[in-house]
Structure 1
Amino acid sequence: MSSPTLRVAVVGAGAFGRNHLRVLRELESTGQPVALVAVVDRDPATAQAAAGKYNIPGFASVAELLAANLDIHAACVAVPTIHHAATAAELLPAGIDLLIEKPLAPSLADADAILSLAAQHDRIVQPGHLERFNPAVAAARPHLNRPMFFESHRLSIFTPRSLDVDVVLDLMIHDLDVVLSFVPSPVREVRAVGLPVLSRKVDIANVRLEFENGCIANFTASRVSTEQVRKLRFFQPRQYLSLDFARKDLLLIDVSAAAAAAAAAATLDPAQFAALAAAAAAKGGHPTAGLSLKKLPVEAGEPLRLEIESFLNAVRTRTQPEVTGEAGRAALALALEINEAIAAHARRTGLPL
């Protein structure tokens, strides 16, 4: 039995919205049960340009879209963050399920309003935490074994997009969400510093989190860098994993069982140590004694396509999305707590914000 075709609109045809339009049309063209049926953008020229490219109706407002009675089942919301709640307030009561670009909202009050409306109208809301669908993140999950230290770097070259939010809500929130999904423990303490550089909001920030279970996570995010870096490294007993979001690859450095047992017993003499080091290096290729390095298999896939496919599956099956609205709210709550810590640090030190 074939699945019914889901009719999907894209609201917001800027940099992010254009990618949603592209992926939806690609899915449609490969025979998946989805149809891209409309685009909305408050700039009429932008809306009409996208409409012409994809041969679909274009509208300047959600009200115009709804008045057209196009029988829309779902929408990808890619408007500026400050408009998320207002946009959701029009679409959810109309019976439309939503994939909302991250962050879910600019405030917890707005996030709660979105989630409340979704519950009231029995609609699905999936926050667009794209990196959850990065194949390297999926490959890392089976190897999680009580990670105790994270080091995250997300650096980007300055662009004029997303300047309605600071770098924590713009970039760092990706990594906050991934780490929150990796660590089954509440955050105990937040320390942070940040500075505006080229915009009126914080453009570079460094954060240290401590979780109740003792895990430590350090985050650095910058949107004024000279290079693009998107990496997450983490340590756990006998292992170190290095995840590259951009390259979609995952490296694992493992302490061999023989080396760990010998070190724990402290019985190695120099000759035994040298022999073990040579054997480990020959097997794993790592120059340090007792360590092996291997590149773990990672399935190919575009994160945005995987994210949209996951959302459409949740809509079709009426099941909880892989990234829930509550998860989006949790990432937002932590990001806002970090911003409060940055502001407190600025007041204490006299730094400009």
Structure 2
Amino acid sequence: MKDIRIGVIGLGYLGKHHARILSQLENVSLKALIDEDFSIAESLSSQYGGKAFNDFRDAIELVDAFVIATPTSSHYSIAKECLRQSKHLFIEKPITLNSKEAQELITLSESMGLIIQVGHIERFNPAFIYAKKRIKNPLYFESERLSPYIERAINIDVSLDLLIHDIDLILTIMREKELNTTIKEISAEGLSMVSQKTDYVLAKIRFNSPVTAVLKASRIAQDKRREMYIYGVDSYLILDFSRQKVTEFNPEDKTFKDIDLNNNEEPLRVELSSFIHSIMNNLPPIVTAQEALQALQIAERVNQLTGA
């Protein structure tokens, strides 16, 4: 089978890592590196191969698929044009700025028979993979996703930047356990401190199932923190996504034990490999656009409640 020819659009913080990994993967031919700043594209092209461009339209004929790692505000317009040119897409999260745009992309991709995978990278974190298998009857989720101020992230609300990760993870576990993911009640509060968008948010979600979730996200924290606490009928797990670590509480002897996950593989590498596998085998991606849309819709409701 021929290698999948791929291009990366947007070579900022995440795009550079996409380029690095794609240049190393089997069954992949990195053909194009695209950025509005042509000097960045040229520099990475000399490192990883592929031709440098400052406009993705000039690379259309060279590739079978694109990674879109541009600012969220441009996801929809770029993705729509790429789909119309019959290209499979990996779109960094959030899929788009709003659910209307996301639904349009889903409809278009389905009509064209094309794959869209969305970059909810924590799905590929070893800590989450373990927890998804281990937890049997989840009842209560609590998450903290905190980050120091980063200039590149302030063009969208923190609910779309950070909180959406944990929304997606909770929905994923609930779907796997065949629990009702529709919302019974949601409340949220937030504030802006360093941008024109919401920088801190605290949300509580009660689903039409036994599950409740309390989620906190901030980009004005002193230290980076990515943790989730999952309480089940007979289990309690603490997930540290940054350290890819799980601590499990044993209710019988009331002790905590660190779980040896024995997996040091880079989640982004696993994520991109799964995208290539989906294209080569014409399989649905692990993170579908429809699932990304559901997480986005909840994040939008949080934004409405916080006045974003």
User: Could you state the TM-score of these two structures normalised by the residue count of structure 1?
Assistant: 0.83
Post-superposition Cα deviations, 1:219-243, rounded to whole Å, max 9, x if no partner, equal: 1111111001000001111321000
Aligned counterparts of 2:272 and 2:57: Cα–Cα separation in 1: 24
Partner of 1:95: 86
Determine which of 100, 115, 118 is the counterpart of 2:109.
Answer: 118
- SS of the residue corresponding to residue 35 of structure 1 reads strand
Aligned counterparts of 2:45 and 2:81: Cα–Cα separation in 1: 21
Indicate conservation of the 8 Å contact 2:135/2:235, yes or no. Answer: no
Partner of 1:198: 194
Determine which of 223, 228, 233 is the counterpart of 1:232.
Answer: 228
1:297 partnered with 2:260: yes
Determine which of 51, 57, 68 is the counterpart of 1:63.
Answer: 57
1:162 partnered with 2:153: yes
TM-fit CA distance, 1:171: 0.7
Aligned counterparts of 1:54 and 1:134: Cα–Cα separation in 2: 25
Aligned counterparts of 1:335 and 1:296: Cα–Cα separation in 2: 31
Aligned counterparts of 2:234 and 2:47: Cα–Cα separation in 1: 53
Partner of 2:39: 45
Indicate conservation of the 8 Å contact 1:139/1:297, yes or no. Answer: no
User: Higher mean Cα deviation, 74-83 or 57-66?
Assistant: 57-66
Give, as a single letter, the amino acid of the residue that structure 2 aligns with 1:51. Answer: S
1:130 partnered with 2:121: yes
Indicate conservation of the 8 Å contact 1:139/1:296, yes or no. Answer: no
Give, as a single letter, the amino acid of the residue that structure 2 aligns with 1:104. Answer: I
TM-fit CA distance, 1:26: 2.4
Indicate conservation of the 8 Å contact 1:169/1:332, yes or no. Answer: yes
Aligned counterparts of 1:229 and 1:55: Cα–Cα separation in 2: 35
Aligned counterparts of 2:194 and 2:135: Cα–Cα separation in 1: 38
Partner of 2:16: 18
Indicate conservation of the 8 Å contact 2:125/2:241, yes or no. Answer: yes
Aligned counterparts of 1:44 and 1:244: Cα–Cα separation in 2: 38
TM-fit CA distance, 1:215: 1.5
TM-fit CA distance, 1:16: 1.0
User: Higher mean Cα deviation, 178-187 or 8-17?
Assistant: 178-187
- SS of the residue corresponding to residue 46 of structure 2 reads helix
Determine which of 24, 27, 32 is the counterpart of 1:33.
Answer: 27
- SS of the residue corresponding to residue 40 of structure 2 reads helix
Indicate conservation of the 8 Å contact 2:145/2:216, yes or no. Answer: yes
Give, as a single letter, the amino acid of the residue that structure 2 aligns with 1:232. Answer: M
TM-fit CA distance, 1:4: 2.2
TM-fit CA distance, 1:324: 0.8
Q: How does 1:208-219 map to 2 (within 5 A)?
A: 208-219=204-215
TM-fit CA distance, 1:164: 1.8
Give, as a single letter, the amino acid of the residue that structure 2 aligns with 1:61. Answer: D
1:322 partnered with 2:275: no
TM-fit CA distance, 1:143: 1.2
Aligned counterparts of 1:55 and 1:132: Cα–Cα separation in 2: 29
Indicate conservation of the 8 Å contact 1:39/1:47, yes or no. Answer: yes
TM-fit CA distance, 1:137: 0.5
Indicate conservation of the 8 Å contact 1:124/1:320, yes or no. Answer: yes
Partner of 1:109: 100
- SS of the residue corresponding to residue 264 of structure 2 reads coil
TM-fit CA distance, 1:294: 2.2
Give, as a single letter, the amino acid of the residue that structure 2 aligns with 1:187. Answer: I
User: Higher mean Cα deviation, 170-179 or 293-302?
Assistant: 293-302
Give, as a single letter, the amino acid of the residue that structure 2 aligns with 1:97. Answer: H
Indicate conservation of the 8 Å contact 1:188/1:212, yes or no. Answer: yes
Partner of 2:4: 6
Indicate conservation of the 8 Å contact 2:30/2:49, yes or no. Answer: no
Partner of 2:48: 54
Give, as a single letter, the amino acid of the residue that structure 2 aligns with 1:157. Answer: P
TM-fit CA distance, 1:320: 0.5
Aligned counterparts of 1:52 and 1:89: Cα–Cα separation in 2: 29
User: Higher mean Cα deviation, 238-247 or 180-189?
Assistant: 180-189
TM-fit CA distance, 1:319: 0.5
| Unaligned runs of at least 5 residues, structure 1 | 257-289, 344-352
* Percentage of identical aligned residues: 32
Post-superposition Cα deviations, 1:272-314, rounded to whole Å, max 9, x if no partner, equal: xxxxxxxxxxxxxxxxxx3132222322221111110111100
Aligned counterparts of 1:190 and 1:252: Cα–Cα separation in 2: 28
| Unaligned runs of at least 5 residues, structure 2 | none
1:81 partnered with 2:44: no
Determine which of 241, 245, 248 is the counterpart of 1:249.
Answer: 245
